[in-house]
């Protein structure tokens, strides 16, 4: 069961705030009955009418994209730049689950299911987000422990659940580090490494929960299976 205004908004006909106004103004019916209370909850079986038109139920779709560099994690861009939804031909209104920076590559989920997105992104569900970072400089054990114990970025303390040094290149003065986090704050991984004195030269998200880019070249995508979607819903707390 979901709130009526949320269902209306997710259908794509209007925003949630406008949906609330429509309900209050007596423009919405559920199963033929006028509804004016914002707390009303509905199920998939209910017939919803908005301004006399039956609300069409949008089929839920789920995709896994191996995001390439130079593509924005958004549904649209006011500057006309390429966005991730451009890479997946479908008639439904997809949006990315979380985001990856313009120059970050790897696992990115896209869907039109708001609940699925919330499960995957909410910190309380403790879903692993695993990144491989190429750093300028040679990272030491002390800095790795700092990342595990927590660093302050944008006034908030965040920590990595796991940090593993994969390799170092003394000649090129670089380190490859695998880092696992549960949050998804803006530029979080880059800022965490900056907090311990390192610039990220290259960043790839290798895994989110059960999802990896195995078998997908950069820019390629696949649909999620019903089993994978069910696994995600089982993680809801």
Here the CATH number for the domain that contains residue 154 is: 3.30.70.1560
Q: Averaged over 122-133, what is the pLDDT? A: 94
Write out pLDDT tens, residues 152-167. Answer: 999 999 999 999 999 9
Looking at residue 197, its pLDDT comes to: 97
Q: Where are the alpha helices (DSSP H) in 13-61?
A: 16-24
Q: Is 178 helix (H, G, I), strand (E, B) or coil?
A: strand
| Structural domain for 224, as ranges | 62-123+211-234
One domain for residues 154 and 200: yes
Told to judge if 101 belongs to the known catalytic residues of this protein, a careful annotator would answer yes
pLDDT score of 2: 87
SS3 236: coil
Torsion of CA 7, 10, 15, 18, to 10 degrees: -20
Mean pLDDT of the chain: 94
Quick one: pLDDT band at residue 83, thresholds 50, 70, 90? Answer: very high
**Confidence class for position 190, pLDDT limits 50, 70, 90:** very high
Kindly state whether residues 43 and 78 are assigned to the same domain: no
CA distance 232 to 226: 10
Domain of 227, CATH number, reads: 3.30.70.580
pLDDT tens for 193-222 read 999 999 999 999 999 999 999 999 999 999
Q: For the chain, how many structural domains are there in total?
A: 3
Residues 112 and 221 in one domain: yes
Let me know whether 98 and 80 are in one domain. yes
Residues 133, 191, single domain; the answer is: yes
Whole-number Å distance between alpha carbons of 28 and 168: 62
Closest CA to 75 of 59, 87, 57: 87
Under the phi-then-psi rule, with left for phi > 0, alpha for psi from -120 to 50, and beta for the rest, what region is 145? alpha
pTM check: above 0.85: no
Q: Per the residue annotation, which of 46, 101, 103, 113 is the catalytic one?
A: 101
CATH number at residue 20: 3.10.290.10
Residue 180 has a pLDDT of 98
């Amino acid at each position: 069961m979901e709130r009526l205004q949320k269902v209306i908004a997710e259908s794509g006909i209007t925003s949630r705030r406008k949906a609330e106004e429509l309900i209050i103004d007596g423009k919405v019916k559920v199963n033929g009955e006028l509804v004016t209370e914002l707390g009303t909850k509905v199920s998939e079986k209910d017939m919803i009418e908005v301004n006399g038109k039956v609300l069409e139920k949008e089929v839920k779709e789920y995709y896994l994209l191996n995001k390439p560099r130079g593509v924005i994690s958004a549904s649209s861009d006011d500057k006309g730049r390429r966005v991730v939804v451009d890479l997946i031909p479908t008639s439904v209104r997809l949006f990315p689950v979380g985001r990856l920076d313009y120059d970050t590559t790897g696992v990115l989920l896209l869907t039109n299911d708001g609940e699925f997105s919330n499960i995957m992104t909410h910190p309380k569900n403790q879903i692993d987000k695993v990144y491989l970072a190429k750093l300028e400089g040679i990272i030491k054990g002390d800095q790795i422990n700092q990342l595990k114990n927590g660093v302050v970025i944008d006034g908030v303390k965040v920590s990595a659940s796991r940090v593993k040094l994969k390799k170092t290149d003394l000649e090129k003065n670089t380190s490859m580090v695998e880092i696992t986090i549960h949050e998804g704050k803006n530029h979080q991984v880059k800022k965490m490494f900056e907090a311990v004195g390192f610039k990220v030269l290259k960043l790839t998200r290798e895994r989110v929960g059960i999802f990896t880019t195995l078998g997908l070249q950069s820019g390629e995508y696949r649909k999620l299976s019903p089993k994978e979607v069910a696994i995600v819903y089982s993680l809801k707390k």
